[in-house]
Structure 1
Amino acid sequence: MITDALAVLDALPPSRPAAETAWPGVDDPDVLREQVAGWLAQYANSGTRRTYALALGLPVTWADAIGGGSEPATGGRRPPAAARGRLHDVAWFRWCAARGLDPREATGAHVTAWLHALSALGAARRTQQRMLSTLSALYGHLAVTGVVSGNPAALHRGRLGLTGGARDASPTVRLTPEQLAALLAAAPTLHFAPDRAVDRLLARRAVAVVALLTLGLRISELTGLDRSDRYRTGGEDVLRVVGKGGRHREVYLTALAADALEAYLAERDRFTGAAVPALRGSAGTGSGPMIATRHGARCSRTDLYRLLRRIAAAGGPELDGVVDRVHPHALRHAYVTIALENGVPIQHVRADVGHASISTTEHYDRGLRTRATTGADAVAAAINRS
């Protein structure tokens, strides 16, 4: 049972004080917490639970506790909390609390007003779609369990301008193989004292992170990996990855990723003084996180996002103009686009990255929209001839 107070009130104005465990508008906050916890507990992937918690305005630590709190930090240290964005105060539960509204009594009109508030703060359509989907999933569960009579988030998205006949063009930068190579080359340059053990460790970790992201992993999948998730099957070196919806898949390790990972784990075992260092083709000792902080705790998504930005900034001319658009999903996007451009069947690529629908994989196929397939140059040539 989750006993910690649900910290949804810290963004409320001082004119509306509340006890630490209170929830404005809710007479039975402990019951509501348990109802929400029951929904989140259905998701095996801790990254999924965290994403949903943030979208609703729940503390991430509260969502982590649902998973049993099995990730204690070494030496009392924990990764820093992610910075709050401009939408933090209008996440659904916070929006309701600011109005003294019990979320279980919300109507479609309330949800529509909330969406307008998100839009007024500049939330992109994709962000609104994602947050509404999260809300709909929550209320769908509450409706099935008899907590609410209907789903107030089951709105007509077309009228709200949140859907279209085709998916929007992806805003994700299209990284080339040369740019991925530049990231790999820049990764070990962040630390300039190879004679210091901690710098050697951090440099090899940086290379391992970039190399593993070139396999098309989601950032939550990478941070969720344990050393025991690497094994051999059918004579192949694979990672057992937990994707969206708690679905497992096997990701084949390339020689590039395997070499980077082995170098990092061996250095980490030397740094921590592990009794048995990692051997080639093995994830090494223990069942701790695959990618860890120098103190042995699991890296957060924020940690790796910031690391990748630093690597991109050191990437040289190849990354000029795109440094601010390099993030973990850009490397996943690159995996799909490069694989498709090199003739890998789309159904194989879909299985590689764990897309639930092949239409999602098709959305990444930039080969359908290239300079050679656009009419822009033909139109310009016609204008010039005139």
Structure 2
Amino acid sequence: MNAHRWISTFLEAQSAELGSAENTLQAYGRDLMGFCDWAEDQGHSLDTLTRADVESYLVHSDAQGLSQATVARRLSSIKQLFRFAFEEGWRADNPAIQIRGPGRSKKLPKVLSQDEVDRLLHAARHTGRSHADRVRNICLLELLYATGMRVTELVTLPLAATQGDPRMLLVLGKGGKERMVPLSSSARIALSDWRAELEIEADLPKNKGLERSKFLFPGRGKTGHLTRHRFFALLKDMAFTAGVPADKVTPHTLRHAFATHLLANGADLRAIQTLLGHADISTTEIYTHVLDERLKELVLTHHPLARDS
């Protein structure tokens, strides 16, 4: 098989057997196609590549000025492809199995303060071309901050999951894993208001007889729901209205804020791990470092001896 067939078969297996998300599959595809293009330029093929060849590709990637995280991700994709090829009998060995990557840098995530989140929530009430847009934006932000959901989990939330006045939401996370997340009172109010708007929209003469979207946040595109990119743009508008630096405001920084603010107020790290849907507690532990840095900054900024020095 040629390289394209290797990759497409691998991606099909990832989707069918592991339920990998579309975004994950696209990332694998981009990484592996770049690797295959490089291999072809070097006169290599996937069925004859050696460990030294894979290591040469990593050196090439590093020379391009790519971050450690990007190189590590590329190596992970290559390792999984060759492991799959070995299991399928396409190769008698796995040339990447013993290669160690550069690891990932321990850069702390950007975190919004409680005041900045409050300003964003207030700005959401004034961002949008119509009343319905504003109600939707409030619901989006309240749900994201109340639950710490990933942006894909939020925009693909089924309407059926929010029936009644739920105290908890069932969220479908990475790898098809489900988890329950509690809703705050303000998030429940925002959710109820948005569902009422959806009912009004459905009852309008122009919309009667049309099939209703199965998503809580419908969209006009082929996915049927609000896209991640559209939500990202909405957040930038809210940040501008709120007077919060736009580079600090993304769906993921709100997820970070959810975790860090919980931890700062005494929440258990294991509970936060469950709420975020992290498979490994070490992923959640990054928030203890964020909190440590904030406490250190607080002491250096406000302690009288620190000010004197």
Fold match by TM threshold 0.5:
yes
Specify which structure has the higher proportion of helix: 2
Distance of 2:3 and 2:269 partners within structure 1:
50
Corresponding position: 1:228 with 2:160: yes
* Cα distance in 2 for residues equivalent to 1:28 and 1:126: 25
Find the aligned partners of 1:161 and 1:229 in 2 and give their Cα distance: 41
Correspondence list, 1:252-267, <5 A: 252-267=182-197
Q: Residue in 1 aligned with 2:85?
A: 142
Which of 271, 279, 283 aligns to 1:360? It is 283
The code of the aligned residue for 1:200 comes to H
CA drift at 1:350? 1.0
In structure 1, stretches of 5+ residues that fail to align are: 1-25, 59-88, 193-198, 276-284
Change (3 A) 1:330 1:272: same
Structure 2 letter corresponding to 1:54: A
Q: For 1:260 and 1:30, how far apart are their aligned partners in 2?
A: 47
State the match for 2:208 in structure 1: none
Q: Which residue identity is paired with 2:156?
A: G
The one of 210, 214, 236 aligned to 2:141:
210
Q: Which amino acid aligns with 1:123?
A: L
- Aligned partner of 2:123 in structure 1 is 186
Q: CA deviation at 1:175?
A: 0.8
Residues 349 and 248 of structure 1: CA distance in aligned 2, closer, same or farther (over 3 Å): same
Paired position in structure 2 for 1:15 = none
Q: Is the 8 A contact 1:228 1:286 kept in 2?
A: no
Give yes or no for the alignment of 1:161 onto 2:102.
yes
Question: Secondary structure of the residue that 1:314 maps to in structure 2?
Answer: helix
**Structure 1 position 216, deviation (Å):** 0.6
Residues 256 and 152 of structure 1: is their aligned pair in 2 closer, same or farther, counting only changes over 3 Å? farther
What is the letter of the counterpart of residue 325 of structure 1?
K
Q: 1:271 to 1:363 in 2, by over 3 A?
A: same
User: What is the Cα deviation at residue 344 of structure 1?
Assistant: 0.9
Shift of 1:205: 2.0
In the alignment, the residues of structure 1 paired with residue 7 and residue 283 of structure 2 have an alpha-carbon distance, to the nearest angstrom, of: 35
2:45 pairs with 1:57: no
Q: What does residue 215 of structure 2 align with? A: 289
Residues in 2 aligned to 1:31 and 1:121: alpha-carbon distance in whole angstroms: 26
**Cα gap change, 1:256 to 1:106, in 2 (>3 Å):** farther
- Whether 1:331 aligns to 2:254 is yes
- Cross-structure match for 1:314: 241
Offset, 1:200: 2.3
SS in 1 for 2:180: strand
Q: Which amino acid aligns with 1:41?
A: A
- TM-score under structure 2 normalisation? 0.81
8 Å Cα contact 1:227/1:286 also seen in 2: no
**Counterpart in the other structure of 2:55:** 112
1:36 corresponding residue in structure 2: 11
Q: Give the equivalent residue in structure 2 for 1:173.
A: 110
Picking from 138, 151, 166, the partner of 2:94 is 151
Tell me how far apart the structure 2 counterparts of residues 96 and 156 of structure 1 sit (CA, whole Å): 17
- 1:315 is aligned with what amino acid? A
SS in 2 for 1:364: helix
Taking structure 1 as reference, are residues 162 and 345 closer, same or farther at Cα in structure 2, changes over 3 Å only? closer
**Counterparts of 2:50 and 2:15, CA distance in 1:** 22
Distance in 2 between the 1:191 and 1:109 partners?
55
Describe the SS at the equivalent of 1:152.
coil
Contact 2:150 2:251 in 1 (8 A): yes
Distance 2:160 2:43 in 1: 47
Looking at structure 1, the residues matched to 228 and 37 of structure 2 have their Cα atoms a distance apart, in angstroms, of 23
- Percent of aligned pairs with the same amino acid: 26
- The answer to whether the 8 Å contact 2:124/2:137 transfers is yes
- Asked if 1 retains the 8 angstrom alpha-carbon contact of 2:120 and 2:238, the reply is yes
- Distance across 1 between alignment mates of 2:217 and 2:91: 41
**1:10 alignment counterpart:** none
Q: Given residue 292 of structure 2, which amino acid in structure 1 is its aligned partner?
A: L
* Aligned counterparts of 1:370 and 1:237: Cα–Cα separation in 2: 32
Equivalent residue letter for 2:144: L
Matches of 2:19 and 2:263, distance apart in 1: 30
Length, aligned pairs only: 301
